[in-house]
Each structure stands twice: as C-alpha cells, then as structure tokens.
Structure 1
C-alpha cells in the first residue's frame, strides 16, 4: 500500500524582487531608452512631475494654496487628492482655451511686419519620388507614357533601384488597353534619363553604366565600360593585375580608371533620401581643468523628475481603501525618482573610476591604454561586477579626442617578451600606426605585421593581428596595394 510522507525542508536561495528586476533593466538601458521610459511614467503618473531647470520659477497658485499646514492657516475643505488634481487640470485647460480663443479671433498680421519664424529658413525635405515626378511634369509626354513612367518611379526603392521585374509592373499599371512590355521598357529608359544619374537601374553594373557619361576622357570611359560590364568582380576585389591582363593595359592605368569608377554613386537614391543616422549622445563628459581630468554627467540627457509633495501630502491625509490605485501611483513615483538618482550616480562613479585608471590614455592616446577588468572597477566603486557590465553597456563618454563607449576602456592584459604588461587597445593602436606608415606599393601582410610586433617585444598571433585589423576596418593587403606609373606587370 502506498504511503504518503510530509516533511519540512529549509533552503536558502536568492531571488530578485520585481522592483529590483525593474531597476536592473533600467540600469542596462541606453540613455535614450531610459529617457523614453521616464517620459512615459511622467505622462501617466499624477504624482510625478518634471523638475524645472530654472529654480527661480514661481510655484503654481494652486500649490501655494495647499502647501501650508492646515494648523497655521485657514481650514481647507475636505477633498481627495484626485479632486485637487482635477481642479488644477481644469484651471489649466481653461487658461489654454482662453488663449486659443483669443489667438483665433485676433486680426491677421500683415506679411510686411517681418515676423519670420526659424522654420521658414529650414530646407524642405524632398523625397526621391517627388524629385523624379517633378522632372516628369516638365516633359512633353502623352498621358499614357506619363502614367507608365510614374509607375516605374513609384516602384523604386530607397537606393534608387528597380527591384521589381517589368512584366510584374504591367499588372499594376492599370493602362487600358493593357501596356506591352516594350512600352514599359521605354518608360524605364525615360526614368533612367532623369536626375540623379543611375536612378532606375536594376543592378549595380547597370547603375554604374548609366553614370559613365560623366567620365570626360573617351579612352578612360571605354575602359570603365569594359570593367563595369565584364570585370565587376575583379574591381570589387581590387585585383589590378587580373584587370590589366584582361584589358591589355598597365596596372597603373587600370588603377586610375578604377579610382574614377569608385567615385561614381552606387546608391543614387541616397542623395535625396539619405538613410536615417542614429546619433550617439554621450552620458558623461570628460574635460581637463587645471591639469586634472574632470568627469561630469551630460545634463542634456539627465531627466529631472521629482515627486509632487503637495499632492503626496494631500493624498496621505485623505487616504482610504478606495484610493488604492493612487497609492500605487505614489509608490511608482518614488521608485522612479530613486531609480533616476541611483542610475546616474552609478554611471558617474564608474566613469570617474575609469578615468582615474586610464589617465594616461587621455594624456597620450590609445598607445597608453592600460589593461583593465570589470572586477577592478567593481572593487573600487563598491558594486558587483555584473553591475559594472550593465553600466558600461550602451553608455558613452565624450572626451577631447572623441566619443567612446565605456566598454572601450576595458581590455585583457597581454604580456610582452620583456615581461611588461600592455592592453589589446594599445596593440591595436600600434597595428594601425604600422599600417599607416607602410608603403602603398608594398603594403604589409598580417604575417609581416606580426613579425614587426615581435621585433618590438610583443608576441602576438597572426590571427590576433587579423582580428585587430578587421576591428580597425582596414582592408587586407591585396586591397591596400597601389600601383604607380613606373611599375610594369608581366602580362604574359
């Protein structure tokens, strides 16, 4: 017969509360994402408000009326915190409504008064399709030809390419009678004749071929046409010797033509519809003041929030079971204010510790970067190593020499032949200096760079040099080689 046994077992385990988990997520966010979260809380939490940067602003009349203690002034009517906030909101709405009505009934100002907004001087954004449609409007075309050309324009992607086959455009053209493939080809040629040159191409070779008339020299233009048509792969690989053998010209002459081809635009659509640029906003700023490096938070990204103590005190005096939702809002407001202070206090402490450890980097550049681990900063600041990892993730530091991610200052130690310790960042800087000093006619391979480092007492594997070169976005030796007119090649 089956027996059941009940026992009590005690165990110790570490768990993160929802509040702590939320704080960890906020600490790991970038400043832009963190600002979005804070603004979202500001928009829905009645107890949280943005702190004005000008401390001289007067407080609202409604706050002055209720900030005094009831024992020192006239008795206040019994009302809840929600009623007080609704009164303030209603008064603000009435003020906005009065201003709106006053402005709407005001007489129109004449244009000669000279009141010009700064927006009037801003350049209007013109998309690629708008630019092409404007050119089509200036041409003398039949309605049918104009409609087919507009179909081609609307089918272009952001690069200015036509990725859709012409036979598929026939179905969406909607022409009556139905357009023939020859008519659509004529419409495509019409679009390809518009500005910018290269628009309407179906691949890179066609895009470059449409721009070849920009090359003034007929001989160079014909060589470029042959390269674009039949040897685009060798052009991409920078194999000048293979192109020279195929075209029957010297490598120096072929290289001059290839340089002219590279000045053509493989993405003509970007001239009018440039891709979105994600700008980096630094979290901390480092400056040298009186011989010492000072670290400060970037005030432009620090959200200034505070709990409205007037509403908080009023709610506490009239708190009841029906106001549980308002109590949750008050708790969230205090948590948000505390998280903002803790987040930026931790970022500042970590940044200051990094600057103290990497002082020579700010003085002398990447070659003076010291090996640094997360544990060293964690021990100095008095936080956990994982917290340092979260703080340095997607956080940036503005320095006199550029903007760097905080993780840039961490690298493992590498021991040289003489027993000295250096960082990987310093070796990357040395690799970059070696490549910048090389001969363009005889660039150094990764193996040769490895041997040069060894002669300086740095034992580094060739694959490590290759990795550092790729991190520096430097091309391989074959693509860095340049040919001079004095060089000759064996074309047999």
Structure 2
C-alpha cells in the first residue's frame, strides 16, 4: 500500500467539566441538590456557606464593640465628673445599675459579658417568646408518635401472663406489619423460633410451640385496636364485628365478610342476597355496618414520613397578571472563602517545585468552587425563566383552576426561551411550583391536546378535570359509564374516544361504573 495524507473537516461537541456539572445540577431535585452542596462543602475548602461568618470577623467585630463601649464609658464618666465635681464618687462613672436589666446588671457586676471575645456565648440566652407558658415543651413538636408495637406491649403490662406466654405474645407483636396484620403464618413464626433445622425438630416440641403461639394470638387479638393480629382483611373485619352486640344484621355482615367479600366489592346485590340468605334491606344494613369498620387497625399508629414538598418557585399575583419568584428557603447561599483565596494568590512558587504543583492543585480547587457557585446560580435562573414562561402560557389556570388548562408541550417553551427540549425536561422534573390551587410539579402544566368541534384544542388536563366533575355530580344509583362520559364530552365540543376516557378515569383513580353504583 502506498502511504498518503488526507485532510478531513468535521464538527463535534465536547462537553467541558463545567458544562457537565451544569447539566447534572439542573436535573437534581431540591433534596439531591442540598446533598450535593453538603458533599462539595466537605471536599472543597474554598467553598463556604454565606451565612457563616468567619471567626476572625467575629473576633474583630467583638473587639471593636468592646472598644467603643469603653470609649463611651470614659466619655460619660468624664462628663459626669465635670457635672458633679467628684471623680471619686461611685455614681460618677455614669452607669446607673438600676437602669440595667437584671441579667445585664448581674453580668456587669460579675465582670463578665454575655459573649466572650471569640463570639461564643458562655451564658444561656433567654428566649421569652417561646417560654410564655410554664407548660411549654420545646421538644413537643418533635415528640415521636407511639408505635403500634409499643402500644400493644403497654397493654400487656396489665395482664397476668406467664413469662413464656408474655414472650410468645411479644414475638407475634414484632411480626405485625404497619397495617396491624400478622405478616407471616404461625407455622413460619414457629419454625423461625426453633434452633437448628426445623425439619429435624421434634414433633412434640413443634406442637407445643404452635399451641403456645395460638394461645398468644388469642391474647393479641383481644388487645386494642380491635382487629390487630388478623391474617387477612376478612379475618380483621370479622374480629371487629364480633365485638358488637349480637343481631341479625351483624350475623349477615359476618357471613359476608367471611365468604362473600368479592361480591360485596362488585356491589352485586342479587347474588349477595342469595348467598347470604338475606333480604335486600338486610344486605344494605350489613353493608352500612361493614363500611364503618377499620380495614387497617394499625393505620392510627403509622408514623407517616415527612414527605412535605417544598416548592422551588412561588406564583404571586401581580396587578392583573402573575409573577414567579424563587423560594428563598430552597436557595443555597454559597460564597468563596476570601481568606483562602487571598492566601493562594500570595503563595506563588517557582515552577517545577513541589510547592508549585501544590499551588496548581489548589488553584484548580478554587476554580472548581467558582464554577460550582456559578452553576448553582444558573440552575435557579433557568428554573425561574422556565416557570415564568409556563405561567404566562397558563394564565387561566391560576384564575380558574385545572379546568381552564391549555395544551402545552415542551417544544413551545424551548422555542420561546431558546433552549433545547431536553433542558426543559430536566428543569420540569422534580421541580415544584406553589400556586393558589396547591403545589404542583412543573410537568403538571404540560399536556397533550384534544380536538374540539370549533376547530380548537383542549388540554388533556382540562379534560380529566371535566371527567372528575361529571363523575362527582352523577347519580350514585346510576353512575355514568365510559361511553356516556365520552358522549357528554362530545356534547361540550370535545372529541374523545371511550378508550381515552377510560384511560383518564383510571389515571384519576376513579372506579368503573359498576363499582361506583350504590347498593
């Protein structure tokens, strides 16, 4: 082969580390962003929170304050001495102890102040605003809720169970799930308590253990809340019904819960009447009794995790329109440590030395910190721009609610702001907006369009809201089917297929017509 030279011209995009970090920060949620910031603060010494005042600044400010106070005291003493004519008089210092507060007077007399030179308080600060009442408990807000297990164990203290029975009941209590049901069958619990391989266990030992667990289960099911320790929903409802006064309706309800829960869920009154051997009136009364029961006895003791959504932006009324502002609670306040940056600039060493290499490494960390602060600011600027563009497009929503939502796709916002659709997608994911109608993810304001008879378009979000309104206003005895809902939407000028109505109804978690029908 003959060697030859060829020239090729091509274009390609290279993502710099700064651009990669900017993209990554843009798609993070608020919680993930704060975790990223905490990690960066630990790794980069040039980065610090803006609300933290350096110790040197604190010391300098405190020294300046004390010096001003001394000068003020000397000037006052001098003027008082001239007025009273006696520098040796104890009141000539110009300090009237009666004018000082109790705490301040005691501190002055003891020769101490509320804060030392380093700015750290040595005496506890009083916060009268939080101590107006003697019954105030500063930990009341964070007091943990009593768990279901603790509640049940507290009830056992009043029983006269033997040590073995008490231990067996506690084993079952620890086997309960958060709903109050027994998570595992008694056989599996017994097998887990046997030493070694359960298959090699003595049958007499296993039978004795099972007998003790059954007895313990009876004790457990006698505790409050009623229904705890049940194996399934049917067992849970029956346990609650048995605590009520005997009656014909109660017996019918127990029979339905034991054998015919599926028919009850389907609201098949005729088959329920035949299966339970009851009249229509008795079945309806039994249903009314069953719906008053608690299907999850442990619900009241479930400690719900703090899943509060903190909005990234807040929509506020501005004249006749709406404006978007960033939520200050989620905006991190970061800055470059000037003390370290100045020290780095002053410590330049000749090239080729170890000190020079260290200087280069620290310079890169300083540049990294600057990039990080800049990318954080750019992230919130982009979120604000996109949010304002969404609000401008969905003005009617903020005045009339979701039924006035307009069709909107990512491409429209991207073209308006000069950004890529992928950027809009990153911005609107896991970012939330506080509105007069609640807090919504930014993606909520985007929806596909449906044709109307007038030739316009209707948002899928508005159609779902309309379906919700139609279902809420329907006759419970004659609920609307998906076909009827599609017909009613068409009468209002919205062309939508029955399958689409069914999809929207399922998205709204609305049951089919046969399950919405009242008995």
TM-score by length of 1: 0.81
Matches within 5 A, 1:113-132: 117-120=137-140, 123-132=143-152
Residue 220 of structure 1 contacts residue 257 of structure 1 at CA under 8 Å; is this kept in 2?
yes
Residue 360 of structure 1 contacts residue 368 of structure 1 at CA under 8 Å; is this kept in 2?
yes
Aligned position for 1:477: 513
SS of alignment partner, residue 388 of structure 2:
helix
SS of alignment partner, residue 367 of structure 2:
helix
The runs of at least 4 consecutive aligned structure 1 residues that moved more than 6 Å come to: 2-6, 62-65, 174-177
How far did 1:441 drift? 0.8
Which whole-Å CA distance do the structure 1 matches of 2:158 and 2:470 have between them? 56
Cα 1:200/1:13, change in 2 over 3 Å: same
- Match of residue 461, structure 1, among 480, 490, 497: 497
Which whole-Å CA distance do the structure 1 matches of 2:487 and 2:175 have between them? 54
SS of alignment partner, residue 306 of structure 1:
strand
Which whole-Å CA distance do the structure 1 matches of 2:296 and 2:161 have between them? 28
- Match of residue 254, structure 2, among 218, 222, 225: 225
| Aligned length in residues | 441
| Greater shift in the superposed pair: 303-312 or 321-330 | 321-330
Q: Deviations over 1:306-361 (max 9, x none)?
A: 11223212212214322344233212211211111011111111111111111111
- Match of residue 269, structure 2, among 240, 245, 259: 240
Gaps of 5+ in 1: 66-93, 104-112, 484-492
Residue 347 of structure 2 contacts residue 359 of structure 2 at CA under 8 Å; is this kept in 1?
no
| Greater shift in the superposed pair: 408-417 or 166-175 | 166-175
How far did 1:8 drift? 5.5
Question: In angstroms, what is the RMSD of aligned CA positions?
Answer: 3.1
How far did 1:214 drift? 4.9
Which whole-Å CA distance do the structure 2 matches of 1:376 and 1:263 have between them? 50
TM-score by length of 2: 0.77
Cα 1:167/1:61, change in 2 over 3 Å: same
Which whole-Å CA distance do the structure 1 matches of 2:267 and 2:118 have between them? 69
Which whole-Å CA distance do the structure 2 matches of 1:370 and 1:163 have between them? 47
Are residues 1:258 and 2:287 paired? yes
Residue 239 of structure 1 contacts residue 479 of structure 1 at CA under 8 Å; is this kept in 2?
no
Cα 1:379/1:252, change in 2 over 3 Å: farther
Are residues 1:164 and 2:200 paired? no
Cα 1:171/1:374, change in 2 over 3 Å: closer
Which whole-Å CA distance do the structure 1 matches of 2:247 and 2:143 have between them? 38
Residue 63 of structure 1 contacts residue 310 of structure 1 at CA under 8 Å; is this kept in 2?
no
Aligned position for 2:153: 133
Which whole-Å CA distance do the structure 1 matches of 2:163 and 2:338 have between them? 69
SS of alignment partner, residue 242 of structure 2:
helix
How far did 1:193 drift? 0.9
Matches within 5 A, 1:17-166: 17-52=16-51, 59-61=57-59, 117-120=137-140, 123-166=143-186
Aligned position for 1:11: 10
- Relative contact order, CA 8 A, sep 6+: which one is greater? 1
Aligned position for 1:191: 220
| Greater shift in the superposed pair: 298-307 or 12-21 | 12-21
Cα 1:405/1:252, change in 2 over 3 Å: farther
Residue 176 of structure 2 contacts residue 183 of structure 2 at CA under 8 Å; is this kept in 1?
yes
Which whole-Å CA distance do the structure 1 matches of 2:391 and 2:139 have between them? 41
How far did 1:215 drift? 4.3
Residue 267 of structure 2 contacts residue 518 of structure 2 at CA under 8 Å; is this kept in 1?
no
SS of alignment partner, residue 45 of structure 2:
coil
- Match of residue 437, structure 2, among 401, 414, 426: 401
Aligned position for 2:71: none
Cα 1:174/1:373, change in 2 over 3 Å: closer
- Match of residue 392, structure 2, among 313, 337, 356: 356
Residue 321 of structure 2 contacts residue 395 of structure 2 at CA under 8 Å; is this kept in 1?
no
Residue 48 of structure 1 contacts residue 308 of structure 1 at CA under 8 Å; is this kept in 2?
yes
For the pair shown, which has the larger CA radius of gyration, 1 or 2? 2
Aligned position for 1:421: 457
How far did 1:6 drift? 7.3
Q: Deviations over 1:44-78 (max 9, x none)?
A: 3211111229x9x994447999xxxxxxxxxxxxx
Cα 1:287/1:142, change in 2 over 3 Å: same
Which whole-Å CA distance do the structure 2 matches of 1:45 and 1:63 have between them? 27
Which whole-Å CA distance do the structure 2 matches of 1:9 and 1:252 have between them? 88
